[in-house]
Amino acid sequence: MAKLDERIGFIGGGNMAFAIGSGLVSCGIVKPSQVLASGPHIENLARWRELGAITTDENCDVLEHTDIVFICVKPHILGPCAAQLKCRHVPSAKDANKLIVSVLAGTTLKTLEEKFDFIESSGLKVIRAMPNTSMQVGEGCTVYTGNSRVTHQDLEKVHLMLNALGLAQQVPEHMIDAVTGVAGCGPAFVYTIIEALADGGVKQGVPRAMALQFAAQTLLGAAKTVLITGKHPAVLRDEVCSPGGSTIVGVHELEKGNLRATLINAVEKATQRSAELGKK
């Protein structure tokens, strides 16, 4: 039995939307028949149909026929998308309870309220969220915040959905761009580290597949150790670094290569870019 009765819609059926939608189905939060996804090319939504969800190439179908609507288009598509929906929207008594959840990088609650003000004249319920694609394996990291119209019950429903796919936490809106740099973009940074670590193993004679598996498992184990023990990463690193041993020699090379500064700079640049995208 599904944990939510509402119909869940996705305007934009790309990777992030599918990570959320498929995750909600696999966790039993909703049934496949409760999910409706749209995209400009119906043939690109085949994986949604394989999931058991309903698909359409009309965004207005999602807006009209679902209760919680995830906006999953690219930030620069928001304006045209909202304009199209406005032209075709048929006002309904259900609009007052409709909940819009945006996963658009850098797009503020104020902007979302302005773009979708045609849905409910007395004020639309909007939640701004920033998930990451690790949701597809149930290990996502998502932050979210709501506007003044969102109720405690609305927040509970969104938390139930997002937290079922990993870690979800409500934060003030001013923190979301910064968290985008850490968690939203972070998987790509970590994938780069995994690839480089595996390449290092291959250079030393480890078979490619084995090196990649070992590198990924090493990062998984290290991450779980941080979360479960609660110890600071520096303390855990020191526990691995024996005096005069091989690990401290390797750590020295990382410091010489400015790994720490490079990652800090990457988060900073990603945060800045997130804010910029929302202004376009």
SS3 of residue 11 by DSSP:
strand
Report d(CA 216, CA 193) in Å as an integer: 9
* Residue 15 counted as an annotated binding residue: yes
Report d(CA 161, CA 69) in Å as an integer: 13
- Cα–Cα nearest to 21, from 75, 82, 70, 77: 70
* Residue 11 counted as an annotated binding residue: yes
- Cα–Cα nearest to 185, from 265, 239, 68, 97: 265
Contact status, residue 106 vs residue 277, Cβ threshold 8 Å: yes
| Beta bridge pairs of residue 71 | 11, 102
Q: Classify residue 157 by its DSSP letter.
A: H
The torsion angles phi and psi of 130, rounded to 5 degrees, stand at -135, 100
* Residue 21 counted as an annotated binding residue: no
* Residue 12 counted as an annotated binding residue: yes
Residue 239 has a CB neighbour count (10 Å cut-off) of 12
Sheet arrangement for strand 54-56: 54-56, 35-38, 8-11, 68-71, 99-102, 125-130, 140-146, 166-170
* Residue 186 counted as an annotated binding residue: no
| Tokens linked to 132 | 């990451």
* Residue 161 counted as an annotated binding residue: no
Q: Is the backbone of residue 114 left (phi > 0), alpha (psi -120 to 50) or beta? A: alpha
Q: Which residue numbers belong to the known binding site?
A: 11-16, 59
Q: Which residue numbers belong to the known binding site for NADPH?
A: 59
Q: Which residue numbers belong to the known binding site for NADP(+)?
A: 11-16
